[in-house]
Structure 1
């Protein structure tokens, strides 16, 4: 599928003068992709290509930290619940301080059931990656604990502002019971985060040593640094695509089956289709719609034929304010008045191009 010609780029440039209109463009890309399976979101984040300078140098290299089970036990105060910052089917994530450097890190301790496969996959996926929008893997530990049980952990840079999930949705408490105190993301911040995630996908799909499909893109796997730079995390389900020289279809891997999380996984995976970069773009589209509406794709309101995608589609272009996250209406109500017109104009142009 080829990229659009000059008329599209001129329209894109003319409408990209502000955060509000930028989000409108993002939304159009999402809706068009979800309905036509087009990979046109590349046009959006290439405009920020100059800001990102990905390198293929190893993230292990000479800066590799050597840690043992005892080191991580001490760093996390015995894997204390006070240090617990996340949990999932994979295991637990703890905040830790490595004494030698007094460096704050995030320690992901993998559970026994998934430890070996996820450990290998994530190490392989991240060991040769260094990109400002992909969380940095500092080191790994494969050992046994003091009871003789298998122990595997991954050590990452600590992301001060937590996950996008925590910012988009009010949560009563953390896993450890401490309340999450987050502000609200304004429109410009959401646009910036969306572009950061697009940059990460662009690197994984097109600029890494071998194309990588993340397979589990969702707000909880987008972490935020102190300056609100977004970094894609959790590569435990990642898959390499076959080398372009092989006689396999482009952008497909040999792995079948459902990959990812309910609500964010591309529908074709449920039919047994092969893993592809388009699956990541579908997940990215759902993430954008969630950022716009403040609603998860698994919200209880979505039943039968109503899903997040259709919910937004039915509101365009006249009723956009009705489905927007109320936070956006509070902070940018005046600017949002022009968004339906922007989306309508671009949608018409895209229809004419088909």
Structure 2
């Protein structure tokens, strides 16, 4: 057995070193020191996936050390996980070990929790899930008071729901977010809130409109809609677009449209290279875009999208990969200067760094 613990005494030191490395990496483009947004030192992860390791007829949670993917180590405490996750983990494992039906051919368990106290547990199997499994899973669901979801090849068994509802307070207002299992959500809730607050501060109040690419479930989009006259956002994932539409309705937002387009497709649309039926009800010429927000995947912005966003007076660029952001800055710095620079410590005690830049046309 092992306890997945971290040495919190080292936290400020590791954050300082991250900031130093980031400042050095961006020195070519800015002399600004990054604004630092620290994470809670423990219980910061809202979602996690564990391998289920079977030994002697007993199931255990297990994880892999980096570079040792054939040698899992068994854990019985996960201090970086949320308090609710740590509360649920032993209860779920006990139920699994008390039921051959739940335990047999189970290979993974996923926990999705929220700051507002909701949770979803997904059990993933190498077997067909039948009525007997559903009955056992229902009993566990009733005991926990949180939904259980079953997955197997070409199977998804929803006993109650396949999502959690998050509630975040931003500038004194409560925002509701539906977060669907399997879709992208920010893993560190406190840092997510810091990122939204920083983005609202960086944008300020505007008489113009906002374009957002890679909007996900509306995480940034919905709070930022208060700062602009109109907002148009794009996202390629159907699940995320559907969640975003529900989140728009749940939060009473009326000045925001979301369309299912990739960044490459939107570049073609705004350049009038070709029409898209998904934009049939959207008059792009009616928007007075002054700001574009991008939060791309680790690969960063492709060349055409990078050239397109460079036309905007202001670019708010959130990145989970400074290397690709720096590569994009080779083009963007030709037309824009960095006015705000932030470091968000999404994953403490790792080398991972997330950044925020506000770029303003020179």
TM-score per shorter chain, which class? under 0.3
Give the structure with the higher percent helix. 1
Higher relative contact order (CA closer than 8 Å, sequence separation 6+): 1
Give the structure with the higher percent strand. 2
Name the TM-score, length of structure 1 as normaliser. 0.20
Name the TM-score, length of structure 2 as normaliser. 0.20
- Structure exhibiting the larger radius of gyration computed from Cα positions: 2
